[in-house]
Amino acid sequence: MTSKEKDATSLGSTRPVMSPDLIVQIPQGIPAKEMSYQEAIREALREEMLRDERVFLMGEDIAKHGGAFGVTRTLFDQFGPERVRNTPISENTIVGAGTGAALAGMRPVMEIMFVDFSGLAMDQICTQAAKLRFMTGGQCKVPWVLRMPQGGGAGKSTAAQHSQSLEVWFAHIPGLKVVLPSTPYDAKGLLKAAIRDDSPTIFLEHKFLYSFRGLVPDQEYVLPLGKCDVKRQGKDVTVVTSGAMVWHAMVAANILAPKGISVEVVDVRTISPLDEDTIGASARKTGRVVLVAEACRSYGATGEWGMVVVEQAFDYLKAPIMRVTGRFSPIPFADSLEKGVWPETDDVVRAIQRTMAQAH
Amino acid sequence: MEVQKELLLEMYRRMIRIREFELGAMDLFKRGQVKGAVHPYIGQEASGVGVCMALRRDDLIAGTHRSHGHTLAKGADTKKMMAEILGKETGYCKGRGGSMHIAAFETGSLGALAVVGSGIPLAVGAALAFKMRGEDKVSVPFTGEGGSNTGNWHECMNMASVWNLPVIFVLENNQYAVSTRVDTVIKVKDLSLRAQGYGIPGVRVDGFDVVTVYEAATKAVARARRGEGPTLLVTESYRFEGHYAGEPEVYRTRAEVEEHRKLDPIPRFHKYLIDNAKASLDEVNAIDTEVKQEIADAIEFAKASPPPDPATAKDYIYA
Amino acid sequence: MPVEVFVHKMTDHMESGRIIQWLVKEGERVEQHQVIMEVETDKAVAELESPASGILKGIRPGAVEGARVPVGETLAFIAEPDEQVPALPPLPSVCTETAVEAGGTTAAAAATQAQVVTRQVRATPAVRRIARELGINLDLVTGTSPDGQISEEDVRSFAAARGGALADATIAATSPEPVEWVDLSTVQRLTGERMVQSIQTAPQFALVISADMTNALQLREAMIDQIAKETGERLSITALLVKIVATALKNQPRANASFEAGRVKLHKRVNVGVAIGADAGLIVPVIKEADQKSLIQIVRELQVFREKARQMRFSADDLSGGTFTVSNLGMYGIDQFNAIVNPPQSAILAVGRVIKTPVTLPDNTVAPRPMMNLTLTVDHRAMDGVQGAKFLAEIKERLEKPDLLRDLAKA
């Protein structure tokens, strides 16, 4: 377990370095600042805590220390120990107490240090918080946000228990919302939305995107939950993806454009509830779909996205739906084994090319 | 501690109400009119009533699968409770929860949670909210001796103590967790000693004596309201019926159960009231009659109520 | 080392061939250059010679009579008796047709090793939708991709070739003449294709003769009980003709032949196909070695074929191997007609109804006689007019002469 933040602006592959210009989400002329994904999350927390005194933070080492990944730095100084609370190592009760506080009218934002630790809190997340509103026939609501870093990067060597992508664990539970932003702009806007949303929301942050930079508007903004974002328009093939993989898809698209292949990149953003309409419209438009996810292959999000494509766009498919995913394996430590565990830009490029080759 | 007559009569009423409600629910279950399972609180009424009578309406309790008693002790409406057990639209949870998940937020009952120990963190979190907002409300998680072995319980005892939260941890030792007897899964005999590890007071009382429980609870509540933090209150009691209604209780002898039935808190309290001239026989009998009628009415109401409309099946998934 | 057996590219544009029949069975010993298979190419029926001497092994699933196989695809191996050969995967799904000369729908499993031979249309969902929207039946479209997959272009070309008006339902609705489009069944389509091929490749002429059916009808009467007892049926004229034709074919081998690659192939066996009309179209099941069979056997076989035609449940064997065809439209009231030769056969006999006709007898009196027109259409490359005339004359003789008829009844 490391609390050091890596400053590299690559996802650990040897492919081109991701630059802020790769994903442009704000029109020219809008006053904006360049900041990192990590800073954008902090700004969202700060703004929402200023806006609503019911919002408070709970988690391990988040107070003076600023959190294992430095996300909550400076917030303790600004808001004090009551609203930025260090907890004992009690993941289940961090979430359970957060749930209780939410039932009693607060709006906690809890942090579990790594999504890999969420197993300890699954009862409170999935069996309690997700279902309380339903079981009580609407007598209560649980307006919390649970922030958890996830994901891995080739060469980062965070190994089996600190590298997983587990969005589907939560996406499978009715009552929870699950968000996975890919850019600073999305991270800030979606976290604000999640904090203001009255349902329990899992907010997954890719730990190796923390240092990625992008423009964030000066003016306050909130992005909608439950909506995909088409990061790049194209007409030949649709890539449906999320999280760090969005960056690989964007680089792949740039590599293929001069070769005459026009790639549309759909960033899912909210894993659950899924914006099926945007995915369907894109699939119908291009007729060719490549699904890219970091999480391991079997029973991952690509299965869900693939079926959505079938349901929404079967009659428009010109080629079989393809997917590029993580290897179905615990994540190894050694470089030689870790290599290839996650999709690289090349994998996405090749998958797109294969799809194009099959099309009629 | 001198307890007012009104309060004593109200305690009696609530205990009888729980008893009659549970008997009614068990009867409906045996007739196949209640689905799923019911977990009767019979024999433990003094514990729940003694604690809840020490609370205000705006204090919160969190329960377990055996929480008909707690919820009723806290003042819930028998009609809405019976309707919920029968899965009707008029139940507290609009038929969505059933026996094991009855919540009555209007009377300060956060809900029965069926995963043992899972309700405790909710109560702790509520207490955190009260403290943060500077309110003098308290929250009371109920659990059995089995629940006091869960990670939940220990994490919560720790967090509530170190953060000094207004929580009264009520541990009802009814001696059995399903079929498992307490001495086979806990080393200490006096469960109140567990509090020492967390630096908070632990109190142990006779759970068959409603006034004793009430007195101990009152002290703990006052402590919490003063901002002095949590207390562990252990009530020694016994589960007269099976873990669930209709369970073949192969793990204990008839004789053992009969021995404990002699400690039944209701006749005991009845005797106390009469012997100590706290109430007349007429007054007590009147309460018996009223409560029996109340339960009969609740059953009528529940039976006559409509089930939830399938068209609303997806309501309340999200807020 | 096993040697691969595959269909060679035999003509310029040949991409696939249709297996007409295997002439040897799995496990049989063959000699190099021995003809082991008849393959229909885009031009004619070709013989496939064995590439080596040895045992024929490992016939590929799907490589059965009627299957369309791509050029170059391994279909089997010639190997030593104890040599192992690889198990070949089923043939890639090129549009395979059923093993039917005139085209039939899927039969009950024909050969034991053969897979059920059905036509598989390969097209992506997008292409299927476009076909639906254009009102095109994908069964009719040929995929131009190497693997037979139908592309959008294929569909659009097909639609354009059929005429633009086809594509647009609204145009059809507003056209001056109300029309209804009927899609052809596979049988009908293939029959049509074969008839085009026949007309285009074989120079055909017809010879007509009338036979006096008096004696033949008497024979029928005489045999009523016997036939009915054995088969529950009447003796049909068709059955009689099959027997007579089979006998005559033995005496006129040129009528029991095929023209192939510049030569006439005389068939040793006499397999008479009988045209039967079914819902799906014209089917021609074959009575094998009809010359060896008794009249009663032939009646029985025809009975079975008629039953099968009702359910379209023919085996590939039923429909293949014919060397001559008889087509009788008399029961539909037709007096006389010219049939088209059924390739690769070289002759076909078309039969009309029995008509009471005033006939001038040898003694110059005129009397009504039951006359029946027989029209023989001939592929001039295999048989000339004189040969055809002799053949037809023999048939007439066998229909008219009492002693020949009696022999028939006994055989």
> If pLDDT is split at 50, 70 and 90, which confidence band does C314 have?
confident
Distance from CA of A114 to the nearest CA of B (A): 19
Q: Calculate helix-pair angle for A75-83, A37-51, nearest 10 degrees.
A: 50
Chain segment C49-97, per-residue pLDDT in tens: 888 889 999 999 889 888 888 877 789 999 988 888 888 888 765 444 4
Nearest residue, CB atoms, A100 vs list B115, B122, B317 = B122
Flag if C125 and A315 touch (Cβ within 8 Å).
yes
Contact call for B and C: 3+ CB–CB distances under 8 Å: no
- With CA atoms as reference, report the closest residue to B12 among B52, B43, B45, B37: B45
The three-point CA angle B73-B79-B83 to 5° equals 110
CB A247 within 8 A of CB A218: no
Flag if A97 and B118 touch (Cβ within 8 Å).
no
| Mean pLDDT taken over chain A | 93
> If pLDDT is split at 50, 70 and 90, which confidence band does C116 have?
very low
Please state whether A26 falls in left (phi above 0), alpha (psi between -120 and 50) or beta: beta
In A252-311, the residues whose Cβ lies within 8 Å of chain C are 287
CA distance C39 to C81: 26
Catalytic residues of A: 91, 162
State mean pLDDT over A146-175.
Answer: 94
| Mean pLDDT taken over chain C | 83
Name the residue with higher pLDDT: C313 or B133.
Answer: B133
In A287-326, the residues whose Cβ lies within 8 Å of chain B are none
- Delineate the domains of chain C, giving CATH numbers in brackets: 1-122 (2.40.50.100), 134-183 (no CATH), 189-410 (3.30.559.10)
> If pLDDT is split at 50, 70 and 90, which confidence band does C261 have?
confident
Q: Look up tokens 């014919």; give the residue.
A: C322
Q: Which residues of A touch C129 (CB under 8 A)?
A: 315-316
Distance from CA of A197 to the nearest CA of B (A): 8
In C257-296, the residues whose Cβ lies within 8 Å of chain A are none
* Sheet order of strands, A145-150 included: A84-86, A55-59, A107-111, A145-150, A201-206, A177-179, A270-272
CA distance A263 to A232: 7
Nearest chain A Cα to B91, which residue?
A137
Beta bridge partners of B168: B231
Chain segment C299-309, per-residue pLDDT in tens: 999 989 988 88
- Delineate the domains of chain B, giving CATH numbers in brackets: 5-300 (3.40.50.970)
Residue A317 near chain C (CB below 8 Å): yes
> If pLDDT is split at 50, 70 and 90, which confidence band does C407 have?
confident
- Delineate the domains of chain A, giving CATH numbers in brackets: 34-217 (3.40.50.970), 229-358 (3.40.50.920)
Single-letter amino acid, residue B287: I
Name the residue with higher pLDDT: C114 or B164.
Answer: B164
- What residue ranges in chain A does DSSP mark as E strands? 32-36, 55-59, 84-86, 107-111, 145-150, 177-179, 201-206, 213-217, 229-232, 237-241, 263-267, 270-272, 289-296, 322-326
> If pLDDT is split at 50, 70 and 90, which confidence band does B249 have?
confident
Distance from CA of B298 to the nearest CA of A (A): 20
What pLDDT score does A73 carry?
Answer: 96
What pLDDT score does C93 carry?
Answer: 53
What pLDDT score does C411 carry?
Answer: 61
What pLDDT score does C119 carry?
Answer: 55
What pLDDT score does C111 carry?
Answer: 32
- Say which residues have a Cβ less than 8 Å from residue B83's Cβ, sequence separation at least 6: B89, B90, B91, B92, B95, B298, B301, B302, B305
> If pLDDT is split at 50, 70 and 90, which confidence band does A14 have?
very low
CA distance A198 to A144: 7
What pLDDT score does C43 carry?
Answer: 54
- Cβ neighbours of C35 (radius 10 Å): 13
Lowest mean pLDDT among B292-306, C112-126, C155-169: C112-126
Q: Phi and psi at residue C254, in whole multiples of 5°?
A: -65, -20
Flag if A360 and C150 touch (Cβ within 8 Å).
yes
Chain segment B194-216, per-residue pLDDT in tens: 999 999 999 999 999 999 999 99
Distance from CA of C191 to the nearest CA of A (A): 31
What pLDDT score does C33 carry?
Answer: 79
Integer-rounded Cα radius of gyration of chain A? 20
Q: Which residues of A touch C149 (CB under 8 A)?
A: 360
Nearest residue, CB atoms, B93 vs list A96, A123, A135 = A135
- pLDDT at residue C216 greater than cutoff 90: yes
Count of pairs with CB atoms under 8 A, one residue in A, one in B: 144
CA distance C372 to C352: 6
What pLDDT score does C315 carry?
Answer: 75
- pLDDT at residue C149 greater than cutoff 50: yes
The proportion of chain A whose per-residue pLDDT surpasses 70, expressed as a percent, equals: 94
What pLDDT score does C11 carry?
Answer: 56
Flag if A360 and C149 touch (Cβ within 8 Å).
yes
Alpha-carbon distance values, C229 to C226, C233, C299, C300, C405 (Å) = 5, 8, 12, 12, 20
- With CA atoms as reference, report the closest residue to C384 among C351, C350, C348, C346: C346
CB C16 within 8 A of CB C69: yes
List the structure tokens of B154. 């220990």
Flag if A318 and C126 touch (Cβ within 8 Å).
yes
- Judged by DSSP in three states, C368 sits in strand
Residue C246 near chain A (CB below 8 Å): no
Q: What is the pTM of this model?
A: 0.67
Lowest mean pLDDT among A14-18, B95-99, C345-349, C392-396: A14-18
State mean pLDDT over A295-312.
Answer: 97
What pLDDT score does C165 carry?
Answer: 46
Nearest chain C Cα to A358, which residue?
C124
Chain segment A249-260, per-residue pLDDT in tens: 999 999 999 999
Q: Which of C124, C130, C141 to probe the A interface (max A CBs under 10 A)?
A: C124
Integer distance in angstroms from the first to the last C-alpha of chain A? 49
> Is the alpha carbon torsion for C51, C55, C58, C64 positive or negative?
positive
State mean pLDDT over A53-82.
Answer: 96
3-state SS track over chain B: CCCCHHHHHHHHHHHHHHHHHHHHHHHHHHCCCCCCCCCCCCCCHHHHHHHHCCCCCCCEEEECCCCHHHHHHCCCCHHHHHHHHCCCCCCCCCCCCCHHHCCEHHHCEEEECCCCCCHHHHHHHHHHHHHHCCCCCCEEEEEECCHHHCHHHHHHHHHHHHCCCCEEEEEEECCEECCEEHHHCCCCCCHHHHHHHHCCCEEEEECCCHHHHHHHHHHHHHHHHCCCCCEEEEEECCCCCCCCCCCCCCCCCHHHHHHHHCCCHHHHHHHHHHHCCCCCHHHHHHHHHHHHHHHHHHHHHHHHCCCCCHHHCCCCCCC
Q: Calculate helix-pair angle for C385-400, C214-231, nearest 10 degrees.
A: 70
In C111-170, the residues whose Cβ lies within 8 Å of chain A are 123-129, 145, 149-152
Residue A174 near chain B (CB below 8 Å): yes
Interface partners of C (3+ CB pairs, < 8 Å)?
Answer: A
Distance from CA of C134 to the nearest CA of A (A): 14
CA A33 to chain centre: 22
Alpha-carbon distance values, B296 to A175, B84, B286, B292, C12 (Å) = 37, 15, 15, 6, 96
The two most distant CA atoms of chain C are separated, in Å, by 79
What pLDDT score does A11 carry?
Answer: 56
State mean pLDDT over B261-278.
Answer: 94
- With CA atoms as reference, report the closest residue to B92 among B73, B112, B63: B112
> If pLDDT is split at 50, 70 and 90, which confidence band does A360 have?
low
- pLDDT at residue B141 greater than cutoff 90: yes
Name the residue with higher pLDDT: C33 or A330.
Answer: A330
Distance from CA of B182 to the nearest CA of A (A): 24
- Judged by DSSP in three states, A137 sits in coil
- Say which residues have a Cβ less than 8 Å from residue B263's Cβ, sequence separation at least 6: B208, B238
Flag if A96 and B317 touch (Cβ within 8 Å).
no
What pLDDT score does A320 carry?
Answer: 94
DSSP string, C195-232: HHHHHHH--EEEEEEEEE-HHHHHHHHHHHHHHHHHHS
Flag if A317 and C124 touch (Cβ within 8 Å).
yes
Flag if A360 and C125 touch (Cβ within 8 Å).
no
